[in-house]
A = this chain, B = another copy of it.
Amino acid sequence: MALELGAFVQFFEFLRDVGIFLQAHSHVRKLLSNAPVESVVRVTGIVSSRPPGQENPKMPTGDIEVKVETAEILNSCKKLPFEIKDFIKKSEALRMQYRYLDLRSFQLQYNLRLRSQIVMRMREYLCNLHGFVDVETPTLFKRTPGGAKEFLVPSREAGKFYSLPQSPQQFKQLLMVGGVDRYFQVARCYRDEGSRPDRQPEFTQIDIEMSFVDQAGIQGLIEGLLQYSWPQERGAITTPFPSMTYEEALADYGTDKPDTRFGMKIVDISDILRRSDIQFVQNALSYPHGTVKAICIPQGVRYLKNKDLESLKESAKSQFNQCSALGSLRLESADLLEAAGMTLRDPTAFHFLWVVDFPLFLPKEENPAELESAHHPFTAPHPVDTNLLYSDPTKVRSQHYDLVLNGNEIGGGSIRIHNAEQQRFVLEKVLKEDSEVLSHLLEALESGAPPHGGIALGLDRLISLIVGAPSIRDVIAFPKSFRGRDLMGNAPDYVTPEELEPYHIQVSWLDKAELAG
């Protein structure tokens, strides 16, 4: 093998990635050894095999060497706030400020390139194999009712604002009405939640909608999509994915997104304890629906120390959100067991799970006498429960489905309501909302809307699980900090009053928030 390198493209990469072994005249050698680390050089020369015994199997180019003829420094590196080596741990803030340097790390290069490949495979599956149409929907829209988490964009009409939607939900349904019967989009979505760990103000979802489809149809499509786009190096995944009802998930795992990589299910031990004479147990069982539940921690005696038990006790006392107390303790116990050396969750295993049969409505937290949609008001009721919609809406199950991977919700979707009267009933009678603001959607349903349904996959979370990244920030090229700031470019930033003028707004410098602070 001996080819001449005229193109500098490959050569730069050789040098940067692997510090290629160079045979060169002394003046070239001097120029290159004097160049600061991370400088950009152009080298021309002859590539040949390394002499036997000098190969380096640890380098991608360890089999070759270059007889350098000329060298030139294209850009000298003058400033380097940290070394570009993966094992040197930098602070998160420094990494974010110099993101363009952090991007040179092996791990971020791998994550971004794999992300691009997976999305490309998804597109091939949807577009080329299944006839989906990639349609771009607007991101300048208007507030949906109750859309408190939507960013606002002032317009040039005084008092009028666009909003950046949390998902293309309305548009994808309108596309079904418009005869684009298989829609998908890698959609940028926006959510203003203030400061939340590992959430981003803008994020990406694989957004899909189909006409004439049922729940099984969407599930089969997604299973095929993930199987087709799954990276080879992570092993194959088997389909169909297992399925579990919302009720089963809560009963067995204490959460609607169970991590099924390990057991330790919640068991009802009421019957066993009913004959005991422990007073607080008897008290608990004397209530209507009173039960006693437990999880069994395998080899807990061997692995868990007193301080672990204390920490579990403390957690049990504190607040729980989506998990019941036992659901949280199950996950926390798993962490403690693994910290103590037990192998519980195989880091190379990917356990997908469908969770189905969610309730259609939930009591509002602030006023449990009123109902709100468990997911969104366009979700269709379960066909078996349709009649209950008009008599006892709290009992209606929905045609919503969540996709869970290793205990993380990575997608959710539903069959939608396609009947205008039913949609109006849900909005006005059940949710007590003003349906006027959705009049365009209701009119659309009256104009020959086909039955339809869809799903959205959270791309950032999915990729971060595939590559084993601790945060979704590691699979996004330029993420925001957890306060929503771009630490590299310093966004958001102040603007002058003159710049606000065309938008008819002014800053309220002394408002409640500031007075409180």
Interface residues of A (CB under 8 A from B): 7-9, 12-13, 16, 38-40, 74-80, 98-104, 108-109, 112-113, 116-117, 119-120, 123, 127-128, 133-143, 148, 151-164, 170-171, 174-175, 177-181, 188, 190, 192, 194, 201-202, 204, 211-213, 418-420, 440, 443-451, 476-478, 480, 484, 486, 488-495, 499-509, 511-514
**Beyond A103-B180, A157-B492, is A127–B116 a contact (Cβ under 8 Å)?**
yes
**Beyond A116-B133, A492-B155, A502-B513, is A139–B188 a contact (Cβ under 8 Å)?**
yes
Closest to A506 in B: B508
Distance in Å from the Cβ of A93 to the closest Cβ of chain B? 14
For A100, the chain B residues whose CB sits under 8 A away are: 174-175, 177-178, 444, 447
Of B162, B213, B501, which is within 8 A of A511 by CB?
Answer: B501
Once the chains are docked, how many angstroms separate the CA of A184 from the CA of B491?
A: 23
Distance in Å from the Cβ of A60 to the closest Cβ of chain B? 14
Closest to A484 in B: B155
Establish whether residues B78 and A499, one from each chain, have CB atoms under 8 Å apart when the complex forms.
Answer: no
For A128, the chain B residues whose CB sits under 8 A away are: 120
Establish whether residues B450 and A178, one from each chain, have CB atoms under 8 Å apart when the complex forms.
Answer: no
For A38, the chain B residues whose CB sits under 8 A away are: 447-448
Establish whether residues B103 and A175, one from each chain, have CB atoms under 8 Å apart when the complex forms.
Answer: yes
Establish whether residues B504 and A138, one from each chain, have CB atoms under 8 Å apart when the complex forms.
Answer: no
Distance in Å from the Cβ of A258 to the closest Cβ of chain B? 30
Establish whether residues B492 and A142, one from each chain, have CB atoms under 8 Å apart when the complex forms.
Answer: yes
**Beyond A153-B151, A177-B100, A486-B141, is A514–B447 a contact (Cβ under 8 Å)?**
no
**Beyond A133-B113, A134-B120, A178-B100, is A505–B507 a contact (Cβ under 8 Å)?**
yes
Once the chains are docked, how many angstroms separate the CA of A493 from the CA of B486?
A: 29
Once the chains are docked, how many angstroms separate the CA of A257 from the CA of B470?
A: 50
Closest to A126 in B: B120
For A152, the chain B residues whose CB sits under 8 A away are: 153-154, 495, 499-500, 503
Q: So how many copies of this chain end up in the complex?
A: 2
Distance in Å from the Cβ of A496 to the closest Cβ of chain B? 10
Establish whether residues B202 and A140, one from each chain, have CB atoms under 8 Å apart when the complex forms.
Answer: yes
Of B142, B158, B181, B213, which is within 8 A of A493 by CB?
Answer: B142
Once the chains are docked, how many angstroms separate the CA of A484 from the CA of B156?
A: 9
Distance in Å from the Cβ of A498 to the closest Cβ of chain B? 10
Establish whether residues A495 and B143, one from each chain, have CB atoms under 8 Å apart when the complex forms.
Answer: yes
Establish whether residues A212 and B8, one from each chain, have CB atoms under 8 Å apart when the complex forms.
Answer: yes
Once the chains are docked, how many angstroms separate the CA of A98 from the CA of B181?
A: 18
Once the chains are docked, how many angstroms separate the CA of A9 from the CA of B511?
A: 56
Could you write out 7 A-B pairs with CB less than 8 Å apart? A7-B212, A9-B213, A78-B447, A112-B135, A151-B154, A159-B494, A504-B514
Of B8, B159, B188, B418, which is within 8 A of A136 by CB?
Answer: B188
Establish whether residues A39 and B448, one from each chain, have CB atoms under 8 Å apart when the complex forms.
Answer: yes
Establish whether residues B179 and A109, one from each chain, have CB atoms under 8 Å apart when the complex forms.
Answer: yes
Establish whether residues B495 and A158, one from each chain, have CB atoms under 8 Å apart when the complex forms.
Answer: no
Once the chains are docked, how many angstroms separate the CA of A493 from the CA of B162?
A: 7
Distance in Å from the Cβ of A199 to the closest Cβ of chain B? 13
Establish whether residues A112 and B138, one from each chain, have CB atoms under 8 Å apart when the complex forms.
Answer: no
Of B76, B488, B491, which is within 8 A of A162 by CB?
Answer: B491
For A490, the chain B residues whose CB sits under 8 A away are: 142, 440
Closest to A507 in B: B159
Once the chains are docked, how many angstroms separate the CA of A293 from the CA of B137?
A: 48
Of B136, B140, B445, which is within 8 A of A476 by CB?
Answer: B136
For A488, the chain B residues whose CB sits under 8 A away are: 174, 440
For A157, the chain B residues whose CB sits under 8 A away are: 492
For A507, the chain B residues whose CB sits under 8 A away are: 158-159, 504-505
Establish whether residues A204 and B136, one from each chain, have CB atoms under 8 Å apart when the complex forms.
Answer: yes
Once the chains are docked, how many angstroms separate the CA of A7 from the CA of B7?
A: 56
Once the chains are docked, how many angstroms separate the CA of A493 from the CA of B135?
A: 25
Establish whether residues A178 and B101, one from each chain, have CB atoms under 8 Å apart when the complex forms.
Answer: yes
Establish whether residues B156 and A153, one from each chain, have CB atoms under 8 Å apart when the complex forms.
Answer: no
Establish whether residues A153 and B164, one from each chain, have CB atoms under 8 Å apart when the complex forms.
Answer: yes
